[in-house]
Structure 1
Amino acid sequence: MKVTRNDPNQLILSDTPWFIGIMLVFFILAFVGPGLLLMSEGGEGIWFGLIFALGGGGLGFGAFCAFVRRVQVILDRTKDSIVIRRQSVFGYEAVEHVLSNLSHAEIESTTSRSNKGSSTLYRPVLVLNKGMSAGRHPIVEAYSNGSGSHRLVDAVNEWLPARKVDSDSQSA
C-alpha cells in the first residue's frame, strides 16, 4: 500500500496488487492452455486435459479470488469523512466513518512461532475514539512483514494535525 495523494485537505492510501494478479493469470494460463491442447488431441487425452485445465486453472482462480483485492482509503477534511473501499472478484464494499472521530493510526502486530523461531507481522489500523464507529478499523485485512505498515501509520499520523492552508491570507 502506498500514499497516492497527500495534500492538506486529502490523504489517499491505495493498494492495487498488479504483480500478484498478473502472476496468477500466467499461472492459470499455464494450466488451461496445455489442458485445452490435450483435449483437442482427442482420445484419452480429453480426460487428462480436462482434469489438468480445471484442476490447475481452478487452483489459480481460487488464489486470484483470495489474494487479489484493491484497497483504497480516503481521508477527506472537506467532507469530514474517511472512506475505506475494498474491491475483489466477489464485489465492491465501501465503509464510511467521520474523520473528526479519528484519534490516530497505529500498528497491530501478531507473532507466529515455528521451529525456526518467531516472526512478527504487522497491519495498520485507524483508531476512532468516539461516535458510532468507535474502535479499531484495519486499513488492510492481512498482516505483512516489512516497513509498509509503519510508513502508512506515519503518513496518517503526520497528516492528521495538519492545518488547512488558507489561500486568502498570504504574507508578504
Structure 2
Amino acid sequence: PEQSSNWDYIFSQVKKAGEGSTVLNLFAYTGGASLAARAAGADVTHVDAVKQVVTWANDNMQASQLNNIRWVVEDAVKFVRREVKRGKKYTGIILDPPAYGRGPEGEKWILEAELNSLLKNCNELLHPEKHFVVLNLYSMGFSSMIAGSLLESAFKTNTNECLDLFFTDRRNRRLPLGVVSRFSII
C-alpha cells in the first residue's frame, strides 16, 4: 500500500511520455512498479538479483493479464554499467535498493557505499529530452531530504518531490516505512 502513490506516478509519467516509452526498474522485487509502467504502455526491463523474486514478478504479470516485460536476473550495478556501454536510453528509471544485499554471484551491495555511483551511471541512461526517476530508500539513515539531495546531485535537477512512505494503522497512526524522491522532465 505504501507504494501505490509511486505506481500512480509511474503510470501517469509513462502516459505523458507517450508511445515508445522505456522503463528500467532496478532492484525490482515483485514487480508492482514494472506492472504499472507496462500497464501504461511502456517497454519495461525488470532487474533483480534474486531468481525466485523475478519468477514471482512474472507470476504477478500473468495474473494482471499483462505481457512482454523483459526479465533480468542480475546484479543491478553490473547491468547498468553494461547498458551505459551499449548506449541504451530509458524514459524512466525506478530504483528500490535495499540497505544491504548480495548479487547472484555474491556481489556485495551496501547502500551508503554504492548508491551515488549507481545514480550517476543511471543519469547516462536517461533519454535526453523526456525522462523521470523514482528513488525509494528504506534505510533509517536516509531522510526524504537526503534522497532528494542525492537525485539533485546525480541528475543535476532541483525539481524533485520528496515524500515519506508510511502505512496508516487502524488507530490512524502513521508507521514509517521509508522515503521516496522523484522527478520528471516530461
How does the TM-score come out when normalised to structure 2? 0.25
More strand by share: 1
Structure exhibiting the larger radius of gyration computed from Cα positions: 1
Please report the TM-score for the alignment, with normalisation by the length of structure 1.
0.26
